[in-house]
Amino acid sequence: MNKSGFRCDACGYQSPRWLGRCPACGSWDSFVVVKGSSTCRERRTAASLQTLGQVVEEEVRLPVGIGEFDRVLGGGIVPGSLILIGGDPGIGKSTLLLQVARSLGEEGPVLYVTGEESVRQVSLRARRLGAGREQVYVAAETDLEAIGQYVDQVKPRALIVDSIQTMVSPRVEAVPGSVAQVRECAAEFQQLAKTRELPVFLIGHVTKEGFLAGPRLLEHLVDVVLYLEGDRHYNYRILRGVKNRFGATNEIGVFEMTAEGMVEVPNPSLMFLGKREEAKVGSVVVPVLQGTRPLLVEVQALVCPNPYGVPRRMAAGFDANRAALLIAVLDKKVGLKLGGCDIYINAVGGVKILEPAADLAVAVAVASSYREAPVSPGTVVVGEVGLTGEVRSVNALDLRLREAAKLGFGRAVIAAGQGPGNYLETEEVSTLAAAIEAVLGG
């Protein structure tokens, strides 16, 4: 039995009749018709039940052939997974996925569906990237039923949709990109992926606030959420895993945007560090973990007097609230008079530091700039700072120090009790004041 109903285009609230105002979110004139479908009883199939022991235990992954991309996915694509990739306009999402299609097309057919560009435009980009001989089929289509027919015809090993906001389901009477259409299209792509064991890549638009456009349900529906980050004025791009049901989250892959497309960066630490041949004031290197990968990042701080009123506190690549906490600890526990100073903090290279292990490096960088005392270029600093001024230990210290030793660093300032390092000289400190004296001297 088929029934039709109405759904709020703003929040997804469903009603059997049309309403002028949504009782859930308060939106006016937001209800659209949703064509009915079979009831749950009619849709049920006699699926066989299995115990967990009967399920195949061997993990099957499909390597993309792009090392940084495979790293973020956890080793490759899991068959039947639904992968969402978001990023600012022009950041390189379509370029990256076209390279993925080229790599996968060497082993079998790949279907690339574009709803924003013509087939000719996609072909021109593919020619620039060196693609064309692979089995990459392209279709300029937005209707889900037509895409399903293409899948039946091509039988691809992967499906790429650019983008989810342009797709239209005939079951929903709403404009493309609306909440109802995005939700319904994503659900149908999920059904397609699971029933056919077909990996599906969805490109998603990003709002001005930096979040994926569309309903929040979209991120819960997919298996993997990736963000392509970076400044459009620079060549480096960071592919960050935000959600991954099959691997580690917050894993990153680093690429360089060139005329030939995205090129992998084999050693991202060198990119984030730059040249460090002499001691610098307000510059400290910290080994951070991005997923399972250790990265050496240069943290810079600038402290200058502000005689005009309320001082400014700005942070790029580091949490501003965390920075304010560290500044308060420096003022209260170390005795630095920072109340009348402008303070600027920056993580070089556009990387975002998301873990508290960089607390000590940020605090030492601020103290270095305030005292005009340089930091030795061969020293790394790592540790979490508490409100009482104590320095706490961090996880995976051995992995961090090994990466520092590989890049020529010879000394590390760490929290007390973590033991001597196996790769370089370590100095243990228990308080923030002791760490500052150890790095900057008396």
**Binding site members for ATP:** 87-94
Question: 117 is written with which tokens?
Answer: 């560009």
Annotated binding-site positions:
87-94
Place of tokens 């709403």: 174
Does the CA dihedral 189-223-227-212 come out positive or negative?
positive
Question: Residue 75 is encoded by which pair of tokens?
Answer: 């080793």
